[in-house]
Amino acid sequence: GEDVEQSLFLSVREGDSSVINCTYTDSSSTYLYWYKQEPGAGLQLLTYIFSNMDMKQDQRLTVLLNKKDKHLSLRIADTQTGDSAIYFCAGAAMNRDDKIIFGKGTRLHILP
Amino acid sequence: DAGVIQSPRHEVTEMGQEVTLRCKPISGHDYLFWYRQTMMRGLELLIYFNNNVPIDDSGMPEDRFSAKMPNASFSTLKIQPSEPRDSAVYFCASSLERSGHGELFFGEGSRLTVL
């Protein structure tokens, strides 16, 4: 089955770029997602990328996908205090009936 | 739409008691998911429904856990009897049928503490 791995913590200074990394095992994953969870709240979809793409940019967010290495990253430019949250990498595959498998999440801490 | 609504937001109970968590999905969403979040195991999918029918319950940990969806606007997750290791945040999420980017809409969660 699918396994999604990501580091648990990341500290970044305000104004710097944050890069959150993720690796996955199922090469048939068709959609890959980044969700954000703020304290005391549920997860919200931040952005997603199809497996036939290698990059997607959306304002301060850049997603890079390396299919060969099964590596996904999320870059947040000009990190702000409001970006402090847990970021979840997730993947879905048609051979799993599109069931979405989540990583354990990376807690992003912003330093002043 | 108000989004996915879960209740209660917090529940503290004693070991052995029955716990019922409730969820109202977004109107028009055909899929409903129950997840459990803990520090140790992260976010685990327990069960999901399509058009009120349970499709995959392989994530339900034990027979003590059961979930129902009697209609398109309501689902329950029941734990009977509850144990301290069931303490977690339980999330309900819903999605449109086969939406192109598979977005899940999450509720705010029900934090369960079993003493």
Residue B92 token pair: 């309900």
Which segments of B17-114 does DSSP mark as H helices, in order?
A: none
B100–chain A nearest CA distance, Å: 9
Omega prior to B54 cis, within 30 of 0: no
Q: Is the pLDDT of residue B102 over 80?
A: no
Residue B90 bridge partners (DSSP): B36, B110
CA distance B13 to chain A (A): 20
The amino acid at residue B51 is: N
Contact A87, A106 (CB under 8 A): yes
Amino acid type, A77 = A
Note the pLDDT of residue B93.
95
> What pLDDT is recorded for position A25?
86
Spatial contact of A16 and A79, defined as CB atoms under 8 Å apart:
yes
Which chain A positions have a beta carbon within 8 Å of B104's beta carbon? 35, 43, 45, 100
pLDDT at residue B99 greater than cutoff 60: no
Distances (CA, A) of B13 to B63, B79, B92, B113, B114: 19, 11, 20, 6, 5
Q: Measured at the alpha carbon of residue B33, what is the angle toward residues A106 and A66, in degrees to the nearest 5? A: 40
Model confidence pLDDT, tens digit, residues B48-70: 999 999 988 999 988 999 999 99
pLDDT at A51: 85
A86-107 tens-digit pLDDT: 999 998 876 666 678 889 999 9
Q: Tell me phi and psi for residue A93, to 5 degrees.
A: -135, 140
| pLDDT (tens digit per residue) in A21-78 | 999 888 777 889 999 999 989 999 999 998 888 999 999 999 999 999 999 999 999 9
What was the pLDDT predicted at B29? 92
Nearest neighbour of B104 by CB, restricted to A97, A100, A104: A100
A93 against B87, higher pLDDT: B87
What pLDDT was estimated at residue A2? 64
The stretch A12-17 carries a mean pLDDT of 97
Evaluate if residue A3 carries a pLDDT over 90.
no
